[in-house]
Amino acid sequence: MSLRNRLGKKRKTIATTLKKFLRTPLPLYLALLLAINVGILTAAGGYILLTRGSSTQDSEDLVKDLKAEILPATGYATSITWGDIGKKLVEVGAIDEKQYQQLFNSPTNGMDELDILKGGSTKPIGINENNSQFVVDTLWAFGLVQKSKVLDEGPMKNSGTELGNFASTGGWTLGKKSATKLYSSQELVQLNDFQQDLVKKIAESIYRPCCDNPTSFPDCNHGMAALGLIELGVAAGLSEEQIYRDVLAFNSFWFPQTYLEIAVYLDQQGKDWSKTDPKTILGPEYSSASGSAVISSQVKDVPGLDSGGGSCGV
């Protein structure tokens, strides 16, 4: 139940109680005094509800409930497995295995995921609070090296900026080859022309809160990682709806504060996070830097919301 519905229910309960009380016969002078006091209390109560919206505890409970829904403790798993993707990334020089071992040398940094670099992994491509950095880096490497119309024909190639000067290219330092040599150089998964066009179509509709560019312009790590996730989903034959749902889940773990704020904002509008179209949430109104900033400004005073978010670096 949304916060607005909870407040409505409380108002109805109070009104019903007052009506029952007022039906009880009272001396005239007491009835007059009671009417005056009820009027004052009702006006004051209405003012408090309008200015505060809810109690601090109600708001904090709402935020906790939404956080558990958006960022489940068990994480989120796709129906796609890593297979030989990790091994191929090492073989083509997109990932330096030694650097990965040094960077992800504890369970909280994704050490449990390193076995995917050996190939033949049946582990689902999934994300949780502990492995989110490992996942964004690995999908970043995949999105960077996978042969793609988005990279070959899109704004990354035609922006007028040197290819190595983007955060998603110049910022990639975990490979044995430079990002410009890796860029759209290997067909790690096969995508025919129809699938390439589908990747482009989906990528054009998905934004991330660190900038105002769609995923079809993957100039940062999260954009390149989202592109990789889309490509893997299309190659696996997933529906567009499922791909949007997967990317939203990954974006939520990469930018937890932003998507928690979006969920609170939706609740204020009487909307349910789980029933809102993932494609809509991933659009510019909610998920772009400018769109999410507007939403953040409208929920910044809600008790229970903390600051934090993802960064665009290794």
- Among 31-40, 83-92, 174-183, name the one with the lowest average pLDDT: 31-40
CA–CA gap between residue 49 and residue 214 (Å, rounded) = 39
CA–CA gap between residue 158 and residue 149 (Å, rounded) = 12
Average pLDDT, whole number, for the chain? Answer: 85
Strand, helix or coil for residue 266: helix
Query: What are residue 120's phi and psi, to 5 degrees?
Result: 65, 30
Residue range 42-61: average pLDDT? 53
For the chain, the first-to-last Cα distance in angstroms comes to 40
How many Cα neighbours within 13 Å face the side chain of 21? 11
Give, in order, the Cα–Cα distances in Å from 70 to each of 227, 259, 261, 313.
Answer: 21, 8, 11, 23
Q: What is the reported pLDDT for 236?
A: 98
Residue range 162-182: average pLDDT? 96
CA–CA gap between residue 134 and residue 42 (Å, rounded) = 55
Strand, helix or coil for residue 182: helix
Percent of the chain whose pLDDT exceeds 70: 79
pLDDT at 21 over 80: no
pLDDT at 50 over 70: no
The whole-model pTM stands at: 0.81
Give the Cβ contact number of residue 49 at 10 Å: 13
User: For 88-131, what is each residue's pLDDT tens digit?
Assistant: 999 999 999 999 999 998 776 777 889 999 999 999 999 999 99
DSSP 113-131: GGGGGGS-EEEEEEE-TTT
Query: Which of residues 211 and 111 earns the better pLDDT score?
Result: 211
Q: How far is CA 27 from the centre of its chain?
A: 61
Query: Which of residues 81 and 46 earns the better pLDDT score?
Result: 81
Confidence band (pLDDT; 50, 70, 90) for 26?
very low
Q: What is the reported pLDDT for 45?
A: 42
